[in-house]
Structure 1
Amino acid sequence: MMKALGEGITMGLLLSVMVGPVFFTLIQNSITHGFKYAIALAAGILLSDFFYVLVTYFGISLLTQFPNFEWYLAIFGGFILIGFGLSSFFKKIKDRPITGGLPVGQARKRTAFFKGFGINGINPFVLLFWISIAGLVAINDDYDRFDIGVYYLGILVTVFVFDLLKAFVAKQLKAFVTPKVMVLMNKTVGLVLLLFGIRLFWYAFSLSA
Protein backbone atom coordinates (compact mmCIF):
# COMPACT_ATOMS: atom_id res chain seq x y z
CA MET A 1 0.00 0.00 0.00
CA MET A 2 2.77 2.44 0.92
CA LYS A 3 4.52 1.78 -2.38
CA ALA A 4 1.31 2.52 -4.30
CA LEU A 5 0.73 5.68 -2.26
CA GLY A 6 4.31 6.85 -2.78
CA GLU A 7 4.15 6.31 -6.54
CA GLY A 8 0.74 8.02 -6.70
CA ILE A 9 2.07 11.05 -4.82
CA THR A 10 5.09 11.17 -7.13
CA MET A 11 2.90 11.16 -10.23
CA GLY A 12 0.62 13.73 -8.63
CA LEU A 13 3.61 16.00 -8.02
CA LEU A 14 4.60 15.69 -11.68
CA LEU A 15 1.11 16.60 -12.80
CA SER A 16 0.97 19.50 -10.33
CA VAL A 17 4.13 21.23 -11.51
CA MET A 18 3.34 21.00 -15.21
CA VAL A 19 2.82 24.55 -16.47
CA GLY A 20 -0.34 24.74 -18.53
CA PRO A 21 -3.78 26.39 -18.74
CA VAL A 22 -4.87 25.10 -15.32
CA PHE A 23 -1.74 26.48 -13.65
CA PHE A 24 -2.24 29.96 -15.06
CA THR A 25 -5.98 29.91 -14.45
CA LEU A 26 -5.56 29.06 -10.77
CA ILE A 27 -2.97 31.79 -10.23
CA GLN A 28 -4.86 34.45 -12.15
CA ASN A 29 -8.23 33.74 -10.53
CA SER A 30 -6.78 33.58 -7.02
CA ILE A 31 -5.14 36.96 -7.51
CA THR A 32 -8.22 38.50 -9.11
CA HIS A 33 -11.10 36.90 -7.20
CA GLY A 34 -9.57 35.58 -3.98
CA PHE A 35 -8.62 32.26 -2.39
CA LYS A 36 -12.20 31.06 -1.74
CA TYR A 37 -12.99 31.43 -5.43
CA ALA A 38 -9.84 29.45 -6.25
CA ILE A 39 -10.93 26.66 -3.87
CA ALA A 40 -14.14 26.18 -5.85
CA LEU A 41 -12.11 26.28 -9.06
CA ALA A 42 -9.74 23.59 -7.76
CA ALA A 43 -12.71 21.44 -6.69
CA GLY A 44 -14.03 21.54 -10.25
CA ILE A 45 -10.63 20.48 -11.56
CA LEU A 46 -10.58 17.62 -9.05
CA LEU A 47 -13.99 16.33 -10.14
CA SER A 48 -12.96 16.51 -13.79
CA ASP A 49 -9.84 14.46 -13.05
CA PHE A 50 -11.88 11.93 -11.06
CA PHE A 51 -14.28 11.55 -13.98
CA TYR A 52 -11.38 10.82 -16.33
CA VAL A 53 -9.97 8.31 -13.82
CA LEU A 54 -13.24 6.36 -13.88
CA VAL A 55 -13.54 6.47 -17.67
CA THR A 56 -9.95 5.45 -18.40
CA TYR A 57 -9.55 2.83 -15.66
CA PHE A 58 -12.80 0.94 -16.21
CA GLY A 59 -12.61 1.34 -19.97
CA ILE A 60 -9.12 -0.10 -20.12
CA SER A 61 -10.01 -2.82 -17.58
CA LEU A 62 -12.66 -4.10 -20.00
CA LEU A 63 -10.32 -3.94 -22.98
CA THR A 64 -7.57 -5.94 -21.23
CA GLN A 65 -9.59 -9.08 -22.03
CA PHE A 66 -8.58 -8.80 -25.69
CA PRO A 67 -5.41 -10.59 -26.87
CA ASN A 68 -2.23 -8.47 -26.97
CA PHE A 69 -4.12 -5.45 -25.65
CA GLU A 70 -1.53 -4.84 -22.92
CA TRP A 71 1.20 -4.65 -25.58
CA TYR A 72 -0.73 -2.07 -27.62
CA LEU A 73 -1.61 -0.16 -24.45
CA ALA A 74 2.03 -0.06 -23.34
CA ILE A 75 3.17 1.18 -26.77
CA PHE A 76 0.38 3.78 -26.95
CA GLY A 77 0.94 4.94 -23.38
CA GLY A 78 4.68 5.11 -23.97
CA PHE A 79 4.21 7.38 -26.98
CA ILE A 80 1.84 9.60 -24.98
CA LEU A 81 4.23 10.00 -22.06
CA ILE A 82 7.24 10.56 -24.32
CA GLY A 83 5.21 13.09 -26.29
CA PHE A 84 4.29 14.87 -23.06
CA GLY A 85 7.90 14.72 -21.95
CA LEU A 86 9.30 16.17 -25.18
CA SER A 87 6.59 18.82 -25.28
CA SER A 88 7.31 19.84 -21.70
CA PHE A 89 11.09 19.77 -22.16
CA PHE A 90 11.11 21.97 -25.26
CA LYS A 91 8.15 24.18 -24.34
CA LYS A 92 8.93 27.88 -24.56
CA ILE A 93 7.61 30.17 -21.84
CA LYS A 94 6.73 33.70 -22.84
CA ASP A 95 7.21 36.54 -20.39
CA ARG A 96 3.64 37.79 -20.19
CA PRO A 97 1.02 38.54 -17.57
CA ILE A 98 -0.63 35.58 -15.89
CA THR A 99 -4.11 35.40 -17.37
CA GLY A 100 -4.47 31.79 -18.37
CA GLY A 101 -5.80 32.93 -21.71
CA LEU A 102 -9.09 33.79 -20.03
CA PRO A 103 -10.84 37.13 -19.68
CA VAL A 104 -10.91 38.55 -16.17
CA GLY A 105 -14.53 39.22 -15.37
CA GLN A 106 -16.79 39.79 -12.38
CA ALA A 107 -16.16 37.22 -9.68
CA ARG A 108 -19.02 34.73 -9.30
CA LYS A 109 -18.21 31.94 -6.91
CA ARG A 110 -21.05 29.77 -8.14
CA THR A 111 -19.44 29.61 -11.58
CA ALA A 112 -15.91 28.88 -10.32
CA PHE A 113 -16.54 25.15 -9.88
CA PHE A 114 -17.89 24.74 -13.42
CA LYS A 115 -15.07 26.86 -14.82
CA GLY A 116 -12.51 24.55 -13.22
CA PHE A 117 -14.34 21.46 -14.43
CA GLY A 118 -14.62 22.86 -17.96
CA ILE A 119 -11.04 24.12 -18.33
CA ASN A 120 -9.63 20.77 -17.24
CA GLY A 121 -12.28 18.63 -18.94
CA ILE A 122 -12.05 20.12 -22.43
CA ASN A 123 -8.28 19.73 -22.56
CA PRO A 124 -7.61 16.59 -24.66
CA PHE A 125 -4.14 16.26 -23.15
CA VAL A 126 -5.71 15.63 -19.74
CA LEU A 127 -7.56 12.60 -21.12
CA LEU A 128 -4.41 11.34 -22.82
CA PHE A 129 -2.48 11.74 -19.58
CA TRP A 130 -5.01 9.66 -17.63
CA ILE A 131 -4.97 7.01 -20.36
CA SER A 132 -1.22 6.72 -19.90
CA ILE A 133 -1.68 6.46 -16.12
CA ALA A 134 -4.21 3.67 -16.62
CA GLY A 135 -1.62 1.97 -18.81
CA LEU A 136 0.97 2.13 -16.03
CA VAL A 137 -1.57 0.65 -13.62
CA ALA A 138 -2.55 -2.13 -16.02
CA ILE A 139 1.02 -3.38 -16.40
CA ASN A 140 1.77 -3.36 -12.68
CA ASP A 141 1.18 -6.90 -11.47
CA ASP A 142 2.13 -5.95 -7.90
CA TYR A 143 -1.03 -3.87 -7.42
CA ASP A 144 -4.34 -5.35 -6.30
CA ARG A 145 -7.57 -3.36 -6.47
CA PHE A 146 -6.91 -1.71 -3.11
CA ASP A 147 -3.41 -0.64 -4.17
CA ILE A 148 -4.81 0.78 -7.41
CA GLY A 149 -7.34 2.81 -5.43
CA VAL A 150 -4.59 4.10 -3.14
CA TYR A 151 -2.42 4.96 -6.17
CA TYR A 152 -5.16 7.01 -7.81
CA LEU A 153 -6.07 8.59 -4.47
CA GLY A 154 -2.45 9.64 -4.02
CA ILE A 155 -2.47 11.35 -7.41
CA LEU A 156 -5.81 13.12 -6.97
CA VAL A 157 -5.21 14.32 -3.42
CA THR A 158 -1.68 15.52 -4.25
CA VAL A 159 -2.90 17.46 -7.27
CA PHE A 160 -5.76 19.02 -5.29
CA VAL A 161 -3.54 20.00 -2.34
CA PHE A 162 -0.95 21.55 -4.62
CA ASP A 163 -3.64 23.39 -6.57
CA LEU A 164 -4.78 24.94 -3.29
CA LEU A 165 -1.19 25.72 -2.35
CA LYS A 166 -0.56 27.42 -5.68
CA ALA A 167 -3.70 29.49 -5.24
CA PHE A 168 -2.87 30.39 -1.63
CA VAL A 169 0.58 31.73 -2.45
CA ALA A 170 -0.48 33.14 -5.80
CA LYS A 171 0.89 36.62 -5.21
CA GLN A 172 4.24 35.22 -4.14
CA LEU A 173 4.25 32.84 -7.10
CA LYS A 174 3.57 35.73 -9.42
CA ALA A 175 6.75 37.39 -8.18
CA PHE A 176 9.00 34.34 -8.01
CA VAL A 177 7.81 32.05 -10.80
CA THR A 178 9.79 33.72 -13.55
CA PRO A 179 10.02 32.39 -17.11
CA LYS A 180 13.45 30.87 -16.27
CA VAL A 181 12.00 29.01 -13.28
CA MET A 182 9.10 27.69 -15.36
CA VAL A 183 11.49 26.51 -18.08
CA LEU A 184 13.51 24.60 -15.46
CA MET A 185 10.31 23.06 -14.06
CA ASN A 186 9.17 21.99 -17.52
CA LYS A 187 12.53 20.43 -18.39
CA THR A 188 12.60 18.46 -15.12
CA VAL A 189 9.05 17.19 -15.58
CA GLY A 190 9.80 16.39 -19.22
CA LEU A 191 12.76 14.19 -18.32
CA VAL A 192 10.80 12.25 -15.70
CA LEU A 193 7.89 11.68 -18.10
CA LEU A 194 10.33 10.44 -20.71
CA LEU A 195 11.59 7.87 -18.21
CA PHE A 196 8.03 6.68 -17.53
CA GLY A 197 7.44 6.40 -21.28
CA ILE A 198 10.60 4.34 -21.72
CA ARG A 199 9.39 2.12 -18.89
CA LEU A 200 6.22 1.37 -20.84
CA PHE A 201 8.22 0.60 -24.00
CA TRP A 202 10.44 -1.73 -22.00
CA TYR A 203 7.36 -3.53 -20.70
CA ALA A 204 6.03 -3.93 -24.27
CA PHE A 205 9.41 -5.32 -25.32
CA SER A 206 9.33 -7.84 -22.46
CA LEU A 207 5.88 -9.01 -23.58
CA SER A 208 7.05 -9.67 -27.12
CA ALA A 209 10.32 -11.29 -26.08
Structure 2
Amino acid sequence: MDFYDLKNAFFVGVVMSFMIGPVFFMLIKTSILKGARAAIAFDIGVILGDIFFMLIAYFGSRSLLEKIKDDPRLFLIGGLILIVYGLITYLDKSNKKEVEVCEVDIPESNNYLKLVLKGFALNFINVGVLAGWLGIIVVVGPTLNMNPSYMFWYFFTVIIGYALSDLGKILLAKQLKSKLTPLVIYRIKRGMGVLLIVFGALIMLKSFIPKDQIDSLFQKVEQTTKNQ
Protein backbone atom coordinates (compact mmCIF):
# COMPACT_ATOMS: atom_id res chain seq x y z
CA MET A 1 0.00 0.00 0.00
CA ASP A 2 1.39 3.42 -0.93
CA PHE A 3 0.57 7.12 -0.99
CA TYR A 4 -1.51 6.71 -4.16
CA ASP A 5 -3.93 4.37 -2.34
CA LEU A 6 -4.19 6.72 0.64
CA LYS A 7 -4.81 9.70 -1.62
CA ASN A 8 -7.65 7.81 -3.31
CA ALA A 9 -9.03 6.85 0.11
CA PHE A 10 -9.03 10.49 1.22
CA PHE A 11 -10.87 11.47 -1.98
CA VAL A 12 -13.50 8.76 -1.36
CA GLY A 13 -14.07 10.17 2.13
CA VAL A 14 -14.57 13.67 0.77
CA VAL A 15 -17.05 12.45 -1.86
CA MET A 16 -19.01 10.42 0.71
CA SER A 17 -19.21 13.48 2.96
CA PHE A 18 -20.93 15.51 0.25
CA MET A 19 -23.65 12.99 -0.51
CA ILE A 20 -26.77 15.11 -0.04
CA GLY A 21 -29.23 13.69 2.46
CA PRO A 22 -30.83 14.19 5.91
CA VAL A 23 -27.46 13.91 7.69
CA PHE A 24 -26.00 16.66 5.50
CA PHE A 25 -28.73 19.15 6.39
CA MET A 26 -28.98 18.13 10.03
CA LEU A 27 -25.25 18.76 10.46
CA ILE A 28 -25.57 22.27 9.02
CA LYS A 29 -28.73 22.98 11.02
CA THR A 30 -27.10 21.80 14.26
CA SER A 31 -24.06 23.98 13.65
CA ILE A 32 -26.20 27.08 13.07
CA LEU A 33 -28.61 26.54 15.97
CA LYS A 34 -26.39 24.94 18.59
CA GLY A 35 -22.84 25.87 17.61
CA ALA A 36 -19.76 24.08 16.31
CA ARG A 37 -19.22 21.87 19.37
CA ALA A 38 -22.74 20.50 19.22
CA ALA A 39 -22.37 19.86 15.48
CA ILE A 40 -19.08 18.04 16.05
CA ALA A 41 -20.77 15.84 18.68
CA PHE A 42 -23.55 15.08 16.19
CA ASP A 43 -20.97 14.33 13.50
CA ILE A 44 -19.13 11.91 15.79
CA GLY A 45 -22.35 9.93 15.99
CA VAL A 46 -22.68 10.01 12.21
CA ILE A 47 -19.11 8.76 11.77
CA LEU A 48 -19.68 5.99 14.33
CA GLY A 49 -22.67 4.95 12.23
CA ASP A 50 -20.46 4.86 9.12
CA ILE A 51 -17.84 2.78 10.95
CA PHE A 52 -20.58 0.38 12.08
CA PHE A 53 -21.79 -0.03 8.49
CA MET A 54 -18.22 -0.46 7.26
CA LEU A 55 -17.65 -3.27 9.77
CA ILE A 56 -20.89 -4.98 8.72
CA ALA A 57 -19.94 -4.70 5.05
CA TYR A 58 -16.37 -5.89 5.70
CA PHE A 59 -17.08 -8.89 7.91
CA GLY A 60 -20.24 -9.75 6.02
CA SER A 61 -18.43 -10.01 2.71
CA ARG A 62 -14.90 -11.00 3.81
CA SER A 63 -15.26 -14.78 3.45
CA LEU A 64 -16.80 -14.40 -0.01
CA LEU A 65 -14.21 -11.88 -1.15
CA GLU A 66 -11.37 -14.11 0.08
CA LYS A 67 -12.64 -16.91 -2.16
CA ILE A 68 -13.16 -14.88 -5.31
CA LYS A 69 -10.74 -11.95 -4.87
CA ASP A 70 -8.85 -12.99 -8.04
CA ASP A 71 -12.04 -13.42 -10.02
CA PRO A 72 -12.53 -10.44 -12.39
CA ARG A 73 -16.29 -10.91 -12.14
CA LEU A 74 -16.02 -9.38 -8.68
CA PHE A 75 -15.64 -6.00 -10.38
CA LEU A 76 -19.05 -6.56 -11.98
CA ILE A 77 -20.62 -6.90 -8.54
CA GLY A 78 -18.90 -3.87 -7.04
CA GLY A 79 -19.54 -1.73 -10.09
CA LEU A 80 -23.19 -2.75 -10.23
CA ILE A 81 -23.72 -1.80 -6.56
CA LEU A 82 -22.21 1.64 -7.18
CA ILE A 83 -24.29 2.14 -10.34
CA VAL A 84 -27.51 1.25 -8.50
CA TYR A 85 -26.56 3.60 -5.66
CA GLY A 86 -25.78 6.29 -8.23
CA LEU A 87 -29.12 5.81 -9.98
CA ILE A 88 -30.98 6.11 -6.69
CA THR A 89 -29.09 9.33 -5.94
CA TYR A 90 -29.64 10.69 -9.46
CA LEU A 91 -33.38 9.95 -9.51
CA ASP A 92 -34.03 11.25 -5.98
CA LYS A 93 -36.09 14.41 -6.45
CA SER A 94 -36.56 15.33 -2.80
CA ASN A 95 -35.55 18.93 -2.14
CA LYS A 96 -34.23 20.62 0.95
CA LYS A 97 -37.66 21.27 2.48
CA GLU A 98 -38.75 17.67 2.00
CA VAL A 99 -35.54 16.44 3.63
CA GLU A 100 -36.01 18.71 6.63
CA VAL A 101 -39.49 17.29 7.26
CA CYS A 102 -38.02 13.87 8.05
CA GLU A 103 -35.25 15.22 10.27
CA VAL A 104 -35.08 14.22 13.91
CA ASP A 105 -35.39 16.99 16.49
CA ILE A 106 -32.27 18.59 17.90
CA PRO A 107 -32.07 18.35 21.71
CA GLU A 108 -33.02 21.64 23.35
CA SER A 109 -29.86 21.75 25.44
CA ASN A 110 -26.34 20.96 24.34
CA ASN A 111 -26.47 17.40 25.61
CA TYR A 112 -23.52 16.07 23.63
CA LEU A 113 -24.26 12.42 24.35
CA LYS A 114 -27.78 12.82 22.96
CA LEU A 115 -26.39 14.58 19.91
CA VAL A 116 -23.96 11.70 19.33
CA LEU A 117 -26.84 9.22 19.59
CA LYS A 118 -28.98 11.36 17.24
CA GLY A 119 -26.20 11.40 14.66
CA PHE A 120 -25.72 7.65 14.91
CA ALA A 121 -29.47 6.96 14.68
CA LEU A 122 -30.05 9.25 11.70
CA ASN A 123 -27.19 7.65 9.79
CA PHE A 124 -28.12 4.13 10.86
CA ILE A 125 -31.63 4.28 9.36
CA ASN A 126 -30.20 5.16 5.94
CA VAL A 127 -29.72 1.76 4.27
CA GLY A 128 -28.17 3.48 1.26
CA VAL A 129 -25.09 4.21 3.38
CA LEU A 130 -24.56 0.47 3.90
CA ALA A 131 -24.91 -0.13 0.15
CA GLY A 132 -22.32 2.57 -0.54
CA TRP A 133 -19.75 1.11 1.87
CA LEU A 134 -20.43 -2.41 0.60
CA GLY A 135 -19.76 -1.31 -2.97
CA ILE A 136 -16.50 0.37 -1.95
CA ILE A 137 -15.30 -2.66 0.04
CA VAL A 138 -16.16 -5.06 -2.80
CA VAL A 139 -14.10 -2.92 -5.19
CA VAL A 140 -11.22 -1.93 -2.91
CA GLY A 141 -10.79 -5.14 -0.86
CA PRO A 142 -9.37 -7.35 -3.64
CA THR A 143 -7.02 -4.59 -4.87
CA LEU A 144 -5.53 -4.57 -1.35
CA ASN A 145 -5.44 -8.40 -1.30
CA MET A 146 -7.89 -8.28 1.62
CA ASN A 147 -4.89 -7.48 3.82
CA PRO A 148 -6.36 -6.44 7.22
CA SER A 149 -3.61 -3.88 7.83
CA TYR A 150 -4.00 -2.28 4.40
CA MET A 151 -7.78 -2.31 4.73
CA PHE A 152 -7.56 -0.63 8.13
CA TRP A 153 -5.33 2.23 6.93
CA TYR A 154 -7.32 2.67 3.74
CA PHE A 155 -10.64 3.10 5.52
CA PHE A 156 -9.04 5.05 8.35
CA THR A 157 -7.94 7.54 5.69
CA VAL A 158 -11.45 7.51 4.22
CA ILE A 159 -12.84 8.46 7.64
CA ILE A 160 -10.23 11.24 7.99
CA GLY A 161 -11.29 12.70 4.63
CA TYR A 162 -14.93 12.38 5.64
CA ALA A 163 -14.39 14.01 9.05
CA LEU A 164 -12.33 16.92 7.70
CA SER A 165 -14.94 17.63 5.03
CA ASP A 166 -17.67 17.60 7.68
CA LEU A 167 -15.60 19.97 9.82
CA GLY A 168 -15.46 22.35 6.88
CA LYS A 169 -19.24 22.14 6.51
CA ILE A 170 -19.66 22.88 10.22
CA LEU A 171 -17.45 25.97 10.07
CA LEU A 172 -19.12 27.23 6.88
CA ALA A 173 -22.67 26.23 7.86
CA LYS A 174 -24.28 29.66 7.55
CA GLN A 175 -22.75 30.31 4.13
CA LEU A 176 -23.72 26.85 2.90
CA LYS A 177 -27.32 27.17 4.07
CA SER A 178 -27.81 30.43 2.16
CA LYS A 179 -26.44 28.88 -1.04
CA LEU A 180 -28.22 25.51 -0.85
CA THR A 181 -31.38 26.35 -2.75
CA PRO A 182 -33.59 23.44 -3.89
CA LEU A 183 -32.23 23.85 -7.43
CA VAL A 184 -28.60 23.70 -6.23
CA ILE A 185 -29.36 20.65 -4.09
CA TYR A 186 -31.04 18.95 -7.04
CA ARG A 187 -28.04 19.61 -9.29
CA ILE A 188 -25.56 18.40 -6.68
CA LYS A 189 -27.53 15.16 -6.22
CA ARG A 190 -27.63 14.55 -9.95
CA GLY A 191 -23.93 15.31 -10.24
CA MET A 192 -23.07 12.90 -7.44
CA GLY A 193 -25.32 10.29 -9.02
CA VAL A 194 -23.61 10.64 -12.40
CA LEU A 195 -20.19 10.42 -10.71
CA LEU A 196 -21.14 7.16 -8.99
CA ILE A 197 -22.62 5.72 -12.18
CA VAL A 198 -19.50 6.56 -14.23
CA PHE A 199 -17.20 5.22 -11.53
CA GLY A 200 -19.27 2.04 -11.27
CA ALA A 201 -19.20 1.58 -15.06
CA LEU A 202 -15.42 1.96 -15.11
CA ILE A 203 -15.13 -0.60 -12.34
CA MET A 204 -17.30 -3.03 -14.30
CA LEU A 205 -15.08 -2.62 -17.36
CA LYS A 206 -12.21 -4.05 -15.34
CA SER A 207 -13.92 -7.44 -15.39
CA PHE A 208 -13.30 -7.63 -19.14
CA ILE A 209 -9.62 -6.69 -18.92
CA PRO A 210 -6.97 -9.30 -17.99
CA LYS A 211 -5.63 -8.87 -14.45
CA ASP A 212 -2.01 -8.44 -15.62
CA GLN A 213 -3.06 -5.55 -17.88
CA ILE A 214 -4.93 -3.94 -15.00
CA ASP A 215 -1.89 -4.23 -12.74
CA SER A 216 0.32 -2.79 -15.47
CA LEU A 217 -2.07 0.13 -16.00
CA PHE A 218 -2.22 0.89 -12.27
CA GLN A 219 1.59 0.80 -12.07
CA LYS A 220 1.85 3.30 -14.93
CA VAL A 221 -0.70 5.61 -13.28
CA GLU A 222 1.11 5.38 -9.93
CA GLN A 223 4.46 6.10 -11.57
CA THR A 224 3.00 9.11 -13.42
CA THR A 225 1.49 10.43 -10.19
CA LYS A 226 4.76 10.04 -8.29
CA ASN A 227 6.69 11.89 -10.99
CA GLN A 228 4.37 14.89 -10.94
Q: TM-score range by the shorter chain?
A: 0.7 to 0.9
Distance in structure 1 (CA, Å) of the matches to 2:25 and 2:167: 13
Distance in structure 1 (CA, Å) of the matches to 2:70 and 2:14: 29
Distance in structure 2 (CA, Å) of the matches to 1:99 and 1:83: 25
1:182 aligns with 2:189: no
Map of 1:83 onto structure 2: 84
Pairing 1:28-107 to 2, within 5 Å after superposition: 28-66=29-67, 73-94=74-95, 96=97, 99=100, 101-102=102-103, 103-107=105-109
Pairing 1:1-209 to 2, within 5 Å after superposition: 1-66=2-67, 73-94=74-95, 96=97, 99=100, 101-102=102-103, 103-107=105-109, 108-140=111-143, 145-206=148-209
Query: Alpha carbons of 1:143 and 1:131: their partners in 2 closer, same or farther (altered >3 Å)?
Result: closer
| Structure 1 runs not aligned, ≥5 long | none
Work out the number of aligned pairs and report it. 208
Distance in structure 1 (CA, Å) of the matches to 2:207 and 2:71: 8
Distance in structure 2 (CA, Å) of the matches to 1:196 and 1:153: 22
Tell me the secondary structure at the aligned position of residue 143 of structure 2. Answer: coil
Determine what percentage of the aligned residue pairs are the same residue. Answer: 30
Deviations 1:13-58 (A, max 9, x none): 2111110111011112222222111111111111111122222223
Shifted more, 49-58 versus 168-177: the winner is 49-58
Higher relative contact order, structure no. (Cα contacts within 8 Å, ≥ 6 residues apart): 1
Deviation (angstroms), 1:188: 2.3
| Structure 2 runs not aligned, ≥5 long | 211-228
Distance in structure 1 (CA, Å) of the matches to 2:92 and 2:99: 17
**Higher alpha-carbon Rg:** 2
Matched to 1:163, the amino acid is D
Contact 1:27–1:98 (8 Å) recurs in 2:
no
Computed over aligned residues only, the root mean square deviation of the Cα atoms, in angstroms, reads: 2.7
Deviation (angstroms), 1:2: 0.8
Distance in structure 2 (CA, Å) of the matches to 1:106 and 1:199: 47
Query: Alpha carbons of 1:97 and 1:200: their partners in 2 closer, same or farther (altered >3 Å)?
Result: closer
Contact 2:144–2:150 (8 Å) recurs in 1:
no
Superposition TM-score, scaled by structure 1 size: 0.85
